[in-house]
Amino acid sequence: MKAMVLEGIGQPLHLQTRPDPSPGQGEVGIRIEACAVCRTDLHVVDGDLPSLKLPLVPGHEIVGVVETLGPGVVLPAIGTRVGVPWLGGTCGCCPYCAAGQENLCDHPVFTGYTRDGGFATHVIARAEFAIPLEGFDDPVAAAPLMCAGLIGWRCLRMTESATSIGLFGFGAAAHILAQICRWQGREVFAFVRPGDEDAARHASSLGCQWAGSSEDRPPRDLDAAIIFAPVGSLVPKALACVRKGGVVVCGGIHMSDIPAFPYRLMWEERQLRSVANLARRDAAEFLSVAKTARIRTKTTVYALEDANRALDDLRHGRFQGAAVLTP
């Protein structure tokens, strides 16, 4: 197999040739067809996340075909197209797992962070966390659904019955979520980086009611806002944009420090919430909706060997939608 490997924090990934991995008990071996590039991959490479496993193959938006089964595995069967998301395994016995909150597991395994991920030609995954992708025939188009889509969906659930939603940071997650919101009949207001006219046009093309700078106020107060950009200073700005009783959801795994802000922004029962990881239930719900709503992802394809360029282009906002690596 070939893999793009992170050997040190802040270093470029290096292409390596390794023996093909063999699945262990309860695992499957997957031939990777595509792996999307997530902002969390930047946080991994930059060392923003603690307890990093090195050397490491990043990547957690994986689509591939099951080629080998480890002992005790019957499903997914050989030949099944599956997706492998960020949450790669849980302990199954901590209080959170017992309460059906596996996304908050005390002893989780994360794909492309605590175990090798999808910037490669092959990957090993726990069978019960390999999600069947029946009906998703384009692996490149499906790859961003495995994190950008799933996290966006979990964030949306936290806004409950909101009918007007602001999306701060119009990248991979927002461009998927905007389509779902419009399909559901919600109004979407897109907040982009100041001066990013391409992102504003992209948002408008997907049916957003309004697209403007994150420095601007929307034309009216919103029911909810979701922050995908890892920028803490957006939190008070988002709070200032939602109505009384509104909610602001932070959708990233890492964010710069939130600055001090006046209590009046939280007063009147506004809520500030965060999303952590995802649960397999989220995947089942979201993929059903994505199929029914005919969600279309906008992708820029890179060869596996060009993973460093894809990460750099993501860092500097050089494309709309999602970057996807193909072996």
CB atoms within 10 A of CB 175: 28
- How sure is the predictor about 160, in pLDDT bands with cuts at 50, 70 and 90? very high
Q: Which residue has the higher pLDDT, 38 or 51?
A: 38
| 242-250/222-227 β-pairing | parallel
DSSP string, 209-275: SEEEETTSPPSS-EEEEEE-SS-TTHHHHHHTTEEEEEEEEE--S--PPPPP--GGGTTTT-EEEE-
Query: In this predicted structure, what is the pLDDT of residue 52?
Result: 87
Between CA 39 and CA 322 the distance in angstroms is 10
How far are the Cα atoms of 10, 25, 131, 155, 251 from residue 101, in angstroms, in the given order?
33, 24, 18, 15, 17
**53 has a pLDDT exceeding 90:** no
Q: What's the whole-number mean pLDDT along residues 145-171?
A: 97
Query: Which residues, in sequence order, are CB contacts of 140 under 8 Å at separation 6+?
Result: 33, 34, 63, 299, 301, 324, 326
Question: pLDDT by residue (tens digit) across 5-49?
Answer: 999 999 999 999 999 999 999 999 999 999 999 999 999 999 999
Instruction: Provide, for the chain, the percentages of residues in helix, strand and coil under a 3-state DSSP scheme, each rounded to the nearest 5.
Output: 30, 30, 45
In three-state secondary structure terms, 192 is strand
Query: In this predicted structure, what is the pLDDT of residue 78?
Result: 98
Query: In this predicted structure, what is the pLDDT of residue 154?
Result: 97
Assess contact for 101 and 279: CB atoms under 8 A: yes
Question: pLDDT by residue (tens digit) across 278-327?
Answer: 899 999 999 999 999 999 999 999 999 999 999 999 999 999 999 999 99
Between CA 70 and CA 185 the distance in angstroms is 45
Class of the CATH domain delimited by 2-145+278-326? alpha beta
Q: Which residue has the tokens 């979701």?
A: 226
Phi, psi of 264 (to 5 degrees): -60, -25
pTM, 2 dp: 0.95
CB atoms within 10 A of CB 245: 11
Assess contact for 228 and 203: CB atoms under 8 A: no
Query: In this predicted structure, what is the pLDDT of residue 4?
Result: 98
Q: What's the whole-number mean pLDDT along residues 184-205?
A: 96
Question: pLDDT by residue (tens digit) across 54-96?
Answer: 999 999 999 999 999 999 999 999 999 999 999 999 999 999 9
Give Cα 9 to chain centroid, integer Å: 21
Between CA 304 and CA 4 the distance in angstroms is 7
Which residues in the chain belong to E strands, given as ranges?
2-5, 14-17, 27-37, 61-69, 81-84, 87-89, 109-110, 122-126, 131-132, 164-168, 187-192, 210-213, 222-227, 242-250, 271-274, 299-303, 322-326
Q: What amino acid is encoded at 251 in this protein? A: G
- How sure is the predictor about 51, in pLDDT bands with cuts at 50, 70 and 90? confident
How far are the Cα atoms of 15, 87, 220, 222, 275 from residue 189, in angstroms, in the given order?
41, 29, 10, 9, 20
- So where are the chain's domains? 2-145+278-326, 149-274
Question: pLDDT by residue (tens digit) across 258-283?
Answer: 999 999 999 999 999 999 998 999 99
DSSP state of 91: -
Q: How many CA atoms lie within 13 Å of 66's alpha carbon, on the beta-carbon side?
A: 28
Sort 264 into a burial class: Cβ within 10 Å, 0-12 / 13-18 / 19+: exposed
Architecture of domain 149-274: 3-Layer(aba) Sandwich (3.40)
Q: What's the whole-number mean pLDDT along residues 205-215?
A: 96
Q: Give the tokens for residue 313.
A: 């282009």
How far are the Cα atoms of 54, 56, 88, 200, 213 from residue 114, in angstroms, in the given order?
9, 8, 9, 36, 36
